[in-house]
A = this chain, B = another copy of it.
Amino acid sequence: MHQQYRSSGGTSIRSTRGKADIRPGDRRESRSASEDGGDNPFLTRLRLLTDIGDTDLAALERLCANPRQFGGRAELVADGEPQERLHILLDGWACRSRLLADGRRQITTLLLPGDICDLDGLYVRNSDCSVATLTPCSVAAVSRPAIQDLAVRSRDVADALGWLGAVENAMLAERNACLGQRSAEEHLAHFLCELLMRLTVVGRASDFSYTLPLTQEAMADVLGLTSVHINRVLHRLRASELIEQRGNQLEIRDWDSLRRVAGFRPDYLHLEGLNGAGDVFAAAPWIFAAPSQPMAPGFSHA
């Protein structure tokens, strides 16, 4: 039997272990998501979703010291160039993209604060795609051996890195499903749902609203559409009052409808964390509350 949503029944509240609380209604400045270590979204994510201990976190935090600042359209990693450093995105939005010979571009991964830009660099010399910023960014460049050392020394770090890779994988697979099967409207709705989830985890969304600093052209490159069509579909979503935009601010007016349109199921983001270590459930139960109208009644596969 297929489990549509994580069975939120019963006592789904786990021990809280002093993790960051990230209720969406929480209206604080977006730069203070975690209670200690200033605002390092990378650490926030690990603390929230993995078993990683304080010593390891401290070691990772040290690696993030002295981040470099980049402008809005900087190239962090060139396609095919060997890299001796990994890049951890601490603030701003970036992307991994592939360029086709004739100039067509596909953004394969949208990188948000807390994401590692080039995890594959741990195993692969020449990355097969380029990393570029989409907004001004703060990026920690940590040496490959340094991270590998940590991973060798601590099973927790190794597992955390593996988990990050697995989640990235799952997100790519889900986007495949979007690109291959969903209509433009479904896909865009799905995209906005995913952003809400991911930004919430790192404390960059509140009240179903977040800053969306992307041009319609960038969104087009993510969704495999044209900017013209993005424009039209956004218009439709606004017209049906699912979302509202004021400048860069995007507000989701009707979460239930939006995710029903999208066919959005957050399972693939693995918000339950590594080995179920995550506390996002307790912190943000609204994420998993079943939509008022069942999204896929009697759905099963055999």
B173 near A98: Cβ-Cβ < 8 Å: yes
Q: Which of A80, A105, A158 is most buried by chain B, counting CB atoms within 10 A of its CB?
A: A80
Query: How far does the Cβ of A237 sit from chain B's closest Cβ, in whole Å?
Result: 19
A224 near B181: Cβ-Cβ < 8 Å: yes
- Partner of A270 from the list B128, B179, B274, B295 (CB cut-off 8 Å) is B128
For A99-130 the 0/1 string (1 means CB < 8 A from B) is 11110111011000000000110111110111
For A63-104 the 0/1 string (1 means CB < 8 A from B) is 000000000000000111000000000000000101111101
Q: Which residue of B lies closest to A121 (CB)?
A: B166
For A40-79 the 0/1 string (1 means CB < 8 A from B) is 0000000000000000000000000000000000000011
Q: Which residue of B lies closest to A173 (CB)?
A: B108
List, in ascending order, chain B residues with CB within 8 A of A100's CB: 177, 181-182, 263
- Can you list 20 residue pairs at the A/B interface with Cβ under 8 Å? A2-B78, A98-B174, A98-B176, A98-B177, A100-B263, A108-B173, A108-B177, A119-B169, A120-B169, A123-B163, A123-B165, A124-B166, A124-B270, A128-B268, A128-B270, A129-B173, A158-B158, A165-B165, A165-B169, A176-B176
